[in-house]
Amino acid sequence: DAGVTQSPTHLIKTRGQHVTLRCSPISGHKSVSWYQQVLGQGPQFIFQYYEKEERGRGNFPDRFSARQFPNYSSELNVNALLLGDSALYLCASSFLSASSNTDTQYFGPGTRLTVL
Amino acid sequence: RKEVEQDPGPFNVPEGATVAFNCTYSNSASQSFFWYRQDCRKEPKLLMSVYSSGNEDGRFTAQLNRASQYISLLIRDSKLSDSATYLCVVTGGDSSASKIIFGSGTRLSIRP
């Protein structure tokens, strides 16, 4: 079985541009979460989606948005890129249930974004 | 104060040693706890969940102390391949939304 997949693997953008990152969860998983990881830090929670609805949001500006599609894949969009947005963007899927607030996250390989 | 705090290390120990990490969390309503391992330039991978009763998986033992709000990871008979960054994860704590908090990670280096 395929694990979590992300595309692209690497991306270079310039300040002010927009970027879309994509994630496909493990088959059967209905929840997708997005994280930003800068060098030397742990992943920072951006969003969690479950059944196409936003279930949680971290402390990121409105330039960051996401959505989940009927097939449970997800996109993370970042507008008006800043130099500080350069990071590894990780997607994780989980078999979250509607009644549970806890889940084990399985990560994809990440998209490394560089903003020049 | 950070919601989840870890000693960043690095811990540099000889092969065969026993090493322990702690991770403290600030939200007493937190519900689930995990340890992840992350190798350089790779994604985090689940090492083990942490239960109140404590749990063991081979050379690895995890403990949760809710009263003092910390979790621990013990690695016995350490191997060279254990060299990595160990991340603690705390989830829940808000009934209206999901919240997943990672610590900054503890770097472990095992020397021959």
pLDDT per residue of chain A (116 residues) written in tens, 0 to 9: 689 999 999 999 999 999 999 999 999 999 999 999 998 899 999 999 998 999 888 999 999 999 999 999 999 999 999 999 999 999 999 887 656 655 788 999 999 999 99
Model confidence band, residue B6 (pLDDT cutoffs 50, 70, 90): very high
Q: Do A106 and B46 touch (CB under 8 A)?
A: yes
Measure in Å the smallest separation between the Cα of B49 and chain A Cα atoms: 8
Is residue B95 over pLDDT 90?
Answer: no
Q: Do B42 and A42 touch (CB under 8 A)?
A: no
Find residue B21's DSSP bridge partners: B73
Give B55-91 pLDDT, tens digit per residue. Answer: 999 999 999 999 999 999 999 999 999 999 999 999 8
Residue B24 CA from chain centroid, whole number: 10
Q: Do A41 and B104 touch (CB under 8 A)?
A: yes
DSSP chain B: --SEEE----EEEETT--EEEEEEES-TTEEEEEEEEE-TTS--EEEEEE-TT-EEETTEEEEEETTTTEEEEEE-S--GGG-EEEEEEEEE--TTS--EEE---EEEEEE-
pLDDT recorded at residue A40 = 86
How far CA A108 is from CA of A78, B46, B51, B83, B107, in Å, comes to 19, 12, 25, 21, 21
Best interface-test mutation with B: which of A4, A33, A101 has the largest number of B CBs within 10 A? A101
Which amino acid, A32?
V
| Nearest Cβ partner for B43 among A33, A48, A90 | A90
pLDDT recorded at residue B27 = 87
Q: Do A101 and B105 touch (CB under 8 A)?
A: no
Calculate mean pLDDT across residues B11-39.
Answer: 93
